[in-house]
Amino acid sequence: MACRIVFVLFPEFQQLDLAGPMAVFEVARLQRPGSYTWRLAANAGGTVRSSAGVPWPVQPLPRTCSADDLVMVIGGDGVDAASRDARLVAWLQRASRSGARVASICSGSLLLAAAGLLDHRAATTHWSRSRQFERSYPAVRLQPDRIFVREPAQRSRSAPRPELWTSAGMTAGIDLCLALVAHDCGEDVAREAARQLVVERRRPGGQSQFSPLLDAQRPEGRFGELLQHIRLHLRQDHRVDELAARACMSPRHFARCFRAETGTTPAHVVERLRVEAARAALEGGQPSVQRIAEDCGFGSTERMRRAFQRLLGRPPAAFRKAEPGPHNGRLPSP
C-alpha cells in the first residue's frame, strides 16, 4: 500500500524545503512504483505564496488522516505566524491522534512544537532557530547539532504517539527523506534515489550541522578562551566545577550562561570537541584507535564508539582513512 504524504504549506514557506523532499519521493517512486503519493495542502485551497514570491497550488487539508499517511510540515520564514494559526495547530493535533506519521523540514519543527507534538521527545531544527526553540518550547529535548532525528512511535492505551521525524535546515530535509525511503522501501531504493539525485546517501562528515557552538568557539566569544583550553587539554576531566572556576563563575551561573551562549551543556560541548578531534585523527590516518581514544579523553574505545554513534550516527571505523590499494594509490606497474 502506498504511503500518502501530506505536505503542509503556509504563506512564506521555503521552496527548497518542499522541492528537495518531493524530489526524493518522486525518484523513489520510479524505483518502487506505487510506493508514494502526495498532495500539497494548506488551510484552504487555491495557492500559497512561498518566501521567494512564487505561488504554489494547494488543496485543502484533508478532513481525516490514517496510519498510512505521512504528514510533513515544511519550514520557512512564515512558521512563526503559522504557529499562531489555531486551525492549523488543531489539524496537526488531530492528524497525530489518528496515528499518521509526522515529520518536519527545517524550522517546520517549531509548528509541531506549537501543537505540543514534540513535548518530551527528541527533535532538531535549523541551527539559526535553536535558541528561539529552546526558549519557547523547553519541554522538547532539542538536539541542535543533528541533521535529523527520528523518534519511534510510542504505543500506549491512554495517549499513543506516532513516529516522528524532524530535520535541520533545507538540504538536511533530503537526508531525512532518504532515511525515510530506506525505512519504507529498503536501503537499495534509498541508495539509488541518492545516486539519481547526485547526493550522498549519508554525508561523509556524519550527522552534525552548524550550530551556535561554532560561533562560541571564536576567540572573541564569551567562552572562546575556555573552549580553546578544553580543545588543547582533551585528556583532562572537564567537570562543570573545574570549568566554572576557570571562568571565574559559580557552577550554577556558569552552566546557565554557557547554555545561553552555546545552546547546549558543558558536558555536551566537551564530548563534541573530543569527537571532532578523534574524527580528524582517524581521517588523518593515525593507526591506533586505542591511542586516539586516550589522547582525546574518552579513556576507552567503547566510550569513543558510543560518542560517535550519538553525535555522528556512525562508528569510528567509518572515518578511518582508506589504505592505499591498486586504484587509490599508485597504479601497478605494467
CATH number at residue 268: 1.10.10.60
pTM above 0.85, yes or no: no
**Domain annotation covers residue 64:** yes
Cell numbers placing 245: 572556576
Q: Does 140 score more than 90 pLDDT? A: yes
**Domain annotation covers residue 327:** no
pLDDT (average), residues 317-330:
55
For residue 331, the model assigns a pLDDT of 35
**Domain annotation covers residue 330:** no
**Domain annotation covers residue 249:** yes
Give residue 20's domain range: 3-197
**Domain annotation covers residue 206:** no
> pLDDT > 90: what percent of the chain?
63
Domain end (from 167, 197, 227): 197
Q: Cβ(292)–Cβ(305) under 8 Å?
A: no
pLDDT (average), residues 326-331:
39
CA–CA separation, 194 vs 268, rounded Å? 31
For residue 145, the model assigns a pLDDT of 76
The pLDDT-based confidence of 249 (bands split at 50, 70, 90) is very high
Residue 248: closest CA among 215, 223, 269, 265: 223
For residue 300, the model assigns a pLDDT of 93
**Domain annotation covers residue 56:** yes
Geometric angle at alpha carbon 89, from 87 and 91, rounded to 5°:
70
Q: Is 110 helix (H, G, I), strand (E, B) or coil?
A: helix
CATH number at residue 60: 3.40.50.880
Residues 222 and 185 in one domain: no
The one-letter amino acid at 277: A
Q: Does 220 score more than 70 pLDDT? A: no
Pairing of strands 101-104, 36-42: unpaired
The overall average pLDDT reported for the chain is 87
* Domains contained in the chain, number: 2
**Domain annotation covers residue 326:** no
pLDDT tens per residue, range 254-312: 999 988 777 778 998 899 889 888 988 887 777 789 999 999 999 999 999 999 888 77
Residues 142 and 270 in one domain: no
**Domain annotation covers residue 329:** no
Q: Is 72 helix (H, G, I), strand (E, B) or coil?
A: strand
Rg of the chain over Cα atoms, rounded to whole angstroms, equals 22
Q: Does 327 score more than 80 pLDDT? A: no
Pairing of strands 122-123, 141-142: parallel
Residues 159 and 259 in one domain: no
Q: Cβ(319)–Cβ(283) under 8 Å?
A: yes
The pLDDT-based confidence of 319 (bands split at 50, 70, 90) is confident
Residues 184 and 219 in one domain: no
Residues 131 and 244 in one domain: no
